[in-house]
């Protein structure tokens, strides 16, 4: 990047190609005002690269941390009282670190406008640094149409295979954004001539909307398709004439892009970072052409597209295997807890049924008499039988649950490389019988994956035709030949599957059960200790339910003169 600012507005002065700025992030007490910062991290940047040591402070603001926020970043009031420092002291150090440099965050409006500026006002602290650009908005525009499905930071990290940092910690997120700038955004920006700080700031601030429609009946479609699709064009005309100012602005912007492109008669071809990253060639980015803010993908050569499809399949297989392996760890841990706590949960749930039965009995007795009240018995018996069946089914399911061995993980990786080749959602769209078979095959694969059934996955992967015939389904032609348009649709579908797989893996890795699994592996006795604590909680809850049930039984006896028979 080149710098065109003077020393009075950007300290220290940067030479050409070395603009100085500060990347920062915060972790907070939540989204509801007043918002208090619990962690503040930053990294000085020179051009596209980090320079010097990172900045990180934990802030002790003597505030309770809501459980929802604590689950995300891991900080509690106790941790901050032990390891944090007063906010005023932390911000003095931050001011020294930043100086007058521009500030950049992955969501600048939130981190600066909604978090830091109100906090500085509350603490009577003068503004630190100055607004730079929003890295999220820059990424959304440079990567448009967003290849990973969305621009969540961890989704982009997974998609582009950036190094794993401390997700949902301020320092970890700062490091991930720095990786994103250096490895993903820089090549695209330089191809578009964005070679100075001022150009980047202006580019990120310009009026712009995604080229892929994100809502309504045309959700997921590229705006440029309106050149051939009259219905989509009418919808854009309608949007431009909306009484809602924001919608109308968007619609008019889209129409201007279509008109400008039509006048040039150009036919741009762009195969940018999403394809190269998927294919594992993130360092090789094809020349890109962008017109009027719309990045479009048209007419890639057949062999190139086949390579991209192959790379996307490999990436999808990798993600699916990672998910199954990590899920097996969680399920194995859950199975251990279930075996230790099953009796406690079953007693608690049985008491809940008894309590509900007696409440229902009394309600019917008071409003309809004894005959109607006795109808509650049938409902109770059915609910008890279902509960028993559910526990028996769960006990059978967890009986053999164990974490995958290294051999099983290796076998799973081999199988998924084969299974992803079967993926082609619209291949049989115009043949109902074959489409039905394809959906059954996909369902069988997903069911086996969810249950960790490697035997069934091997049966399908090693001989999909034989598996289909053994089920009595319509035969399918599963060869990998496809024409250009089919490959293009397949590639788009694979991108969506990759995005879904990334999101599923993220949800798993951020779940409380996964965190417990990770901690229990570090501390072998932790799971047993937790089981004992939960057993105490369940016993206490059961005792309370038993007292309530006894009071209801006494009330029924007093009203009817009969001893309540349904206690088990």
The C-alpha atoms of residue 527 and residue 186 are separated, in whole angstroms, by 46
pLDDT score of 290: 37
pTM above 0.85, yes or no: no
Burial-class residue 196 by CB neighbours within 10 Å (0-12, 13-18, 19+).
middle
How many Cα atoms are found within 13 Å in the side-chain-facing hemisphere of 304? 14
User: In Å, what is the CA distance from 432 to each residue of 13, 30, 443, 476?
Assistant: 67, 49, 16, 12
Token output for 90: 């932390």
Tell me the Ramachandran region of residue 66: left when phi exceeds 0, alpha when psi lies from -120 to 50, beta otherwise.
beta
The C-alpha atoms of residue 79 and residue 424 are separated, in whole angstroms, by 50
The C-alpha atoms of residue 406 and residue 385 are separated, in whole angstroms, by 40
Token output for 526: 């932790």
pLDDT score of 557: 85
pLDDT score of 17: 55
Q: CB atoms < 10 A from the CB of 529, how many?
A: 11
DSSP state of 131: E
Tell me the Ramachandran region of residue 431: left when phi exceeds 0, alpha when psi lies from -120 to 50, beta otherwise.
beta
Q: Is the dihedral of CA 467, 469, 472, 473 positive or negative?
A: positive
Rg (CA), the chain: 30
The C-alpha atoms of residue 198 and residue 193 are separated, in whole angstroms, by 12
> For 76-100, what is the HEC assignment?
CHHHHHHHCEEHHHHHHHHHHHHCC
Closest CA to 40 of 78, 76, 93: 93
Under 8 Å between Cβ of 295 and 145: yes
Token output for 361: 């009995």
pLDDT score of 222: 85
Under 8 Å between Cβ of 167 and 144: no
Please give the domain boundaries of the chain with CATH numbers for all domains. Answer: 20-205 (3.30.420.10), 223-299 (no CATH), 300-403+484-568 (no CATH)
pLDDT score of 265: 44
Under 8 Å between Cβ of 550 and 359: no
pLDDT score of 155: 86
Under 8 Å between Cβ of 258 and 226: yes
Give backbone dihedrals phi and psi of 252, rounded to 5 degrees, phi first.
-65, -35
Low-confidence ranges of the chain (pLDDT < 70): 1-17, 147-149, 261-302, 400, 480-484, 563-568
CA 91 to centroid of chain Cα atoms: 32
């Amino acid at each position: 990047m080149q710098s065109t600012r003077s020393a009075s507005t950007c300290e220290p002065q940067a030479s050409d190609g070395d603009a100085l700025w500060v990347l920062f992030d915060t972790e907070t007490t939540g989204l509801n005002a007043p918002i208090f910062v619990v962690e503040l991290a930053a990294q000085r940047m020179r051009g596209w690269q980090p320079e010097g040591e990172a900045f990180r402070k934990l802030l002790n603001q003597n505030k309770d941390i809501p459980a929802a926020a604590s689950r995300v970043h891991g900080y509690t009031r106790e941790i901050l009282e032990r390891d944090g420092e007063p906010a005023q002291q932390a911000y003095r150090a931050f001011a020294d670190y930043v100086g007058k440099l521009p500030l950049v965050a992955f969501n600048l409006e939130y981190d600066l406008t909604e978090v830091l500026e109100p906090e500085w006002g509350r603490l009577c602290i003068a503004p630190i640094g100055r607004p730079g650009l929003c890295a999220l908005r820059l990424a959304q525009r440079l990567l448009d149409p967003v290849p990973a499905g969305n621009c969540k930071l961890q989704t982009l990290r997974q998609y582009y295979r950036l190094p794993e940092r401390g997700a949902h910690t301020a320092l970890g997120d700062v490091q991930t954004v720095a990786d994103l700038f250096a490895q993903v955004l820089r090549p695209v920006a330089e191809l578009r001539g964005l070679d100075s700080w001022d150009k980047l700031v202006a580019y990120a601030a310009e009026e712009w909307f995604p080229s892929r429609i994100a809502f309504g009946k045309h959700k997921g479609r590229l705006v440029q398709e309106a050149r051939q699709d009259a219905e989509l064009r009418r919808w854009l005309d309608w949007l431009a004439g909306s009484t809602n100012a924001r919608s109308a602005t968007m619609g008019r912007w889209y129409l201007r892009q279509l008109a400008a492109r039509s006048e040039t008669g150009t036919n741009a071809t762009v195969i940018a970072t999403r394809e190269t990253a998927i294919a594992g060639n993130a360092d090789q980015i094809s020349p890109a052409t962008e017109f009027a803010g719309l990045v479009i993908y048209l007419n890639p050569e057949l062999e190139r597209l086949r390579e991209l499809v192959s790379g996307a399949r490999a990436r999808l297989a990798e993600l699916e295997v990672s998910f199954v392996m990590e899920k097996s760890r969680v399920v194995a841990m859950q199975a251990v807890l279930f075996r230790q706590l099953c009796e406690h949960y079953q007693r608690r749930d049985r008491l809940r049924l008894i309590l509900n039965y007696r409440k229902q009995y009394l309600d019917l007795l008071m409003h309809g008499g004894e005959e109607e009240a006795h109808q509650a018995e049938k409902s109770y018996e059915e609910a008890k039988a279902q509960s028993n069946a559910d526990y028996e089914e769960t006990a059978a399911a967890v009986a053999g649950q164990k974490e995958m061995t290294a051999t099983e993980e290796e076998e799973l990786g081999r199988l998924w490389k084969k299974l992803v080749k079967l993926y082609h959602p619209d291949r049989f769209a115009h043949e109902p019988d074959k489409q039905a078979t394809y959906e059954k095959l996909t369902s069988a694969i997903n069911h086996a994956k969810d249950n960790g059934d490697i035997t069934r996955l091997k049966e399908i992967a090693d001989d999909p035709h034989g598996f289909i015939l053994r089920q009595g389904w319509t035969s399918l032609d599963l060869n990998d030949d496809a024409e250009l348009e089919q490959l293009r649709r397949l590639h788009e579908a694979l991108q969506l599957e990759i995005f879904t797989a990334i999101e599923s893996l993220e949800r798993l890795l951020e779940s409380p059960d996964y965190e417990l699994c990770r901690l229990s592996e570090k501390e072998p006795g932790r799971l047993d200790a937790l089981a004992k604590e939960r057993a105490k909680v369940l016993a206490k809850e059961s005792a309370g339910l038993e007292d309530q049930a006894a009071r209801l039984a006494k009330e029924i006896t007093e009203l009817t003169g009969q001893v309540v028979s349904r206690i088990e």
